[in-house]
């Protein structure tokens, strides 16, 4: 038997002996921390727990089936300490059945974005067709979309009087010119509501109209509420405020 073959044989025998004796296999370390442990940098201590710096080049499989890369104490089925590079992948091309993976900033875990209803899409688009409203005014249209799971925003609209025109008149000539369309989504009693109106205006002949409101429904897993930033301009028309906390 050549020296090379003898060395290889002794190497595999040592692995088997280690496995049968201790239930652990160490590659380039005589101090394995799990069922299978590779010390890529060959820099671990001979005893005790490797330091964080020493673990940075380690790969481990624990007895309970967890895999650690860059850590010898994985906290999940796959625990990667460091960056990951994903090679080229196929495009979804708007095909259904895809969801987004989010990172829990508190634990580092990767999770699928989802709501209590099971919707796993982070951004949704919906059109609300609201017919025969009070002239040009919607004061509180309940979408019944849960505020705990979603944020709703209006991104566009159209309005048409029920006689097929878009003509509006001032509701009170003494009021002055009426303003442009005023639309927003607001929260009330745990659901999102919609408001739409032409301030100071009404439809010709007082007939009712129809709104089409185009909305984005955003999963709150990718939304951070920064609260309200308030300032008093003391009658002025310019001002400045500190950047909202959290940005």
- pLDDT per residue, tens digit, the chain (247 aa), is 455 555 555 555 555 554 444 578 999 999 999 999 999 999 999 999 999 999 999 999 999 999 999 999 999 999 999 888 888 888 888 787 888 888 888 888 888 888 888 888 899 999 999 999 999 999 999 999 999 999 999 999 999 888 876 677 776 655 556 678 899 999 999 999 999 999 888 888 889 999 999 999 999 988 988 999 999 999 999 999 999 888 8
Residue 138 lies in a domain: yes
Co-location of 73 and 127 in the same domain: no
Q: What is the pLDDT of residue 20?
A: 47
Residue 211 is predicted with a pLDDT of 95
pLDDT for 21 equals: 46
Same domain for 129 and 67, yes or no, is no
Q: Give Cα 20 distance to the centre of its chain.
A: 46
With the CA atoms of 159, 161, 165 and 170 taken in that order, what torsion angle do they form, in degrees rounded to the nearest 10?
-90
Domain presence at residue 218: yes
Residues 63 and 129 in one domain: no
Judgement on whether residues 76 and 127 belong to the same structural domain of the protein: no
Which residues does 24 contact at the CB level (< 8 Å), separation at least 6?
18, 32, 34, 35, 36, 37
Tell me if 48 is assigned to some domain. Answer: yes
The last residue of one of the domains, among 51, 80, 109, is 80
- Based on its alpha-carbon atoms, the radius of gyration of the chain, rounded to whole angstroms, reads 32
**Is 200 inside a domain boundary?**
yes
The whole domain housing 23 covers 3-80
Q: Does an H or E element contain 212, and which? A: strand 209-219
In a domain, 113, yes or no: no
Half-sphere exposure of 156 (CA within 13 A, CB side): 4
| Same domain (yes/no): 73, 149 | no
| Lookup result for tokens 């160490």 | 26
132 and 76 in a single domain? The answer is no
203 falls within a domain: yes
65 and 156 together in one domain:
no
Residue 103 included in any domain: no
Q: Quick one: pLDDT at residue 240? A: 95
Residue after which a domain boundary falls, among 80, 115, 145: 80
The number of distinct structural domains making up the chain is 2
Same domain? 128 vs 216:
yes
Q: Is residue 242 part of a domain?
A: no
Does residue 61 sit in the same domain as residue 149?
no
| pTM score above 0.85 | no
Residues 73 and 133 in one domain: no
């Amino acid at each position: 038997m050549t020296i090379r073959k003898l060395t290889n044989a002794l190497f595999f025998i040592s692995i088997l002996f280690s496995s049968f004796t201790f239930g652990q296999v160490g590659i380039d370390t005589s101090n394995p921390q799990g069922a299978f442990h590779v010390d890529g940098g060959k820099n671990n201590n001979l005893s005790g727990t490797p330091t964080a710096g020493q673990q940075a080049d380690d790969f481990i499989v624990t007895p309970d089936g967890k895999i650690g890369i860059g850590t010898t104490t994985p906290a999940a089925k796959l625990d990667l300490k460091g960056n990951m590079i994903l090679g080229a992948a196929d495009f979804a091309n708007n095909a259904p059945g895809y969801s987004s993976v989010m990172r829990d900033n508190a634990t580092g875990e990767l999770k699928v974005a989802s709501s209590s209803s099971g919707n796993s899409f982070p951004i949704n688009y919906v059109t609300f067709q609201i017919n025969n409203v009070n002239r040009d005014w919607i004061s509180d249209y309940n979408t019944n979309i849960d505020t705990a799971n979603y944020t709703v925003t209006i991104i566009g609209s159209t309005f048409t009087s029920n006689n097929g025109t878009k003509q509006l008149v001032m509701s009170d000539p003494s009021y002055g010119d009426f303003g442009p369309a005023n639309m927003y989504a607001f929260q009330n009693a745990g659901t999102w509501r919609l408001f739409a109106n032409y301030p100071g205006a009404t439809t010709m002949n007082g007939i009712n109209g129809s709104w089409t409101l185009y909305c984005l429904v955003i999963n709150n897993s990718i939304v951070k509420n920064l609260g309200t930033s308030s300032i008093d301009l003391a009658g002025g028309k310019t001002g400045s405020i500190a950047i909202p906390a959290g940005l």
